[in-house]
Amino acid sequence: MAFADGRNSAAVAGGIVWPENIDTTWYAAASARFHIEDNWAVEPDFGYWNQDKAETLKLRTGNVVYGAKDYHLGASLLYMGTWKDVGMYAGGGAAAHWRKRETTQDVVPPENHPDVDETRLGLQILYGVDIPIARTIDVTAAVRDDFIFRGDLDTLTVITVYAGLRFYWH
């Protein structure tokens, strides 16, 4: 079983993300997993999502539409186990989220609604499974919850469900 032998791996995945107060949208991610001891691994990851119509502000003279993008780069500490041939993992970590709000205007005259770029710290928890389909390839699936700090200990919650392929090497 590829999962239990402690080999390092890389994964690519896609899925759906539910940012708080924003409609669902697609999600893309890549990660690497490095085993550090028996059932423990460190997993750096990169993810991206984009919602062109994250919020609409209705004005008398038309609509202002905001789009939102989020890039994150982080790492998690994972506890790993198995059930029959299925690898299971759970853990958590931290990530930097580069977020951008872009403005599309349909108002006359235009109003001042500038784009916003920000970088925020986020904490993440995740649970997933790895199902072997070949000696060096697994189908991987996970549920992840990010808590992105916005200031004054207020957080934005982002739930993600994704699946993809994990590739093992020695």
Residue 52: predicted pLDDT? 78
Structural tokens at position 169: 């090497």
Tokens of 31: 């990660």
CATH code of the domain containing 31: 2.40.160
Domain membership of residue 105 (yes or no) is: yes
Q: Is residue 72 part of a domain?
A: yes
How confident is the model at residue 2, as a pLDDT? 42
Within 8 A by CB and 6+ apart from 84, the residues are none
Q: What is the structure's pLDDT at 102?
A: 75
Is there a domain that residue 158 lies in?
A: no
**What pLDDT was estimated at residue 114?**
67
> What is the pLDDT, as a whole number, of residue 19?
85
Q: Is position 55 within any domain? A: yes
121 domain-assigned: yes
pLDDT at 76: 98
> β-strand 40-59 against 154-169: which pairing, if any?
unpaired
pLDDT value, residue 111 = 63
Residue 98 is part of which domain span?
3-139
Q: State how many domains the chain has.
A: 1
| Distance from C-alpha of 6 to C-alpha of 168, rounded to nearest angstrom | 10
Q: 162 in a domain, yes or no?
A: no
What amino acid is encoded at 4 in this protein?
A
pLDDT of 54 reads 67
Surface-to-core class of residue 36, CB atoms within 10 Å of its CB (0-12 exposed, 13-18 middle, 19+ buried): exposed
Q: Contact 78/31 with Cβ under 8 angstroms?
A: no
**R_g of the chain, CA atoms, integer Å:** 19
| pLDDT, mean of each 10-residue run, the chain (170 residues) | 68 94 90 92 95 72 76 96 92 93 67 74 96 95 92 76 94
Residue 147 falls within a domain, yes or no? no
